[in-house]
Amino acid sequence: MRKKIVAGNWKMNKTFEEAQALVSEVVNMVKDEVNNDAQVVLCPSFPYLATVSKTIDGNQNVLLGAQNCHQNESGAYTGEVSAAMLQSVGVKYVILGHSERRQYFYEDDQVLEAKVKAALKQGLQPIFCIGESLEQREQDLTFSILETQLKEGLFHVSNEEFERVVIAYEPIWAIGTGKTASSQQAQEVHAFIREQIARHYDAEAAQNTTILYGGSCNPGNAAELFACPDIDGGLIGGASLKSRDFVDIIKSF
């Protein structure tokens, strides 16, 4: 049975003190208020990983995630962080292929393929992001774009490795814009992704894979989105920076 997951991508936000306050608030609110079985993943910036790891230590419902990792194990890559480094400070999940990484840092499917391999080798669970731009959607290219991203960036892994992968659909046109795909639009795409998994692997893999929605999910629309049969949670951006909003999203299952 697939997991319900709400992952908070803090992106490049919060000072050290603010990050400490936010994680403490979220952990305490989850403990006091959340009664469902959703897995919570917090993905702060690299400098805060060790501190956040200590704060959430021992909490079964809140795990640590990172926003990226390098594809090589070590070496002269100034400013980069390896999967082994992440694993050593308690990271369990790592976001790969986020649209901002693809757009601003020119990460293509070949680079992401290598990053997925690196993450899996260190026992991390990739949250693999795919999505289309507004222009691509308007040209009816959504499904072909997603199919290519899956095939070239992710579907190289074995059936056993794929069991540890989470997929996040993030319509680029709905990230940080205030726009959100309707629940019908989101469900249609999530169902398509699950069909692609069944086609490449098998029906069991498709049914067991967690697929998150990552396009401006907020407390006002989370319940409707999460009620869709193929949406298993959210990859949350801006709303994850406010403990009240984030926990309300978690409670939406």
Indicate the average pLDDT of the chain. 95
β-bridge mates for residue 43, sequence order? 9
The stretch 211-219 carries a mean pLDDT of: 93
Give me the CATH number covering residue 43: 3.20.20.70
Q: Provide Rg for the chain, Cα atoms.
A: 17
pLDDT at 156 over 90: yes
How far is residue 200's CA from residue 194's CA, in Å, rounded to a whole number? 10
Residues 6+ apart with CB under 8 A from 78: none
pTM of the entire predicted model:
0.97
Q: What is the DSSP letter of 227?
A: T
**Positions marked active-site:** 98, 170
Domain boundaries, position 87:
5-250
* Contacts with 29 (C-beta within 8 Å, 6 or more apart), sequence order: 243, 244, 247
Is a pLDDT exceeding 70 seen at residue 241? Answer: yes
Residue 196, classed as helix, strand or coil, is helix
- The count of structural domains within the chain is 1
pLDDT in tens, 88-139: 999 999 999 999 999 999 999 999 999 999 999 999 999 999 999 988 988 9
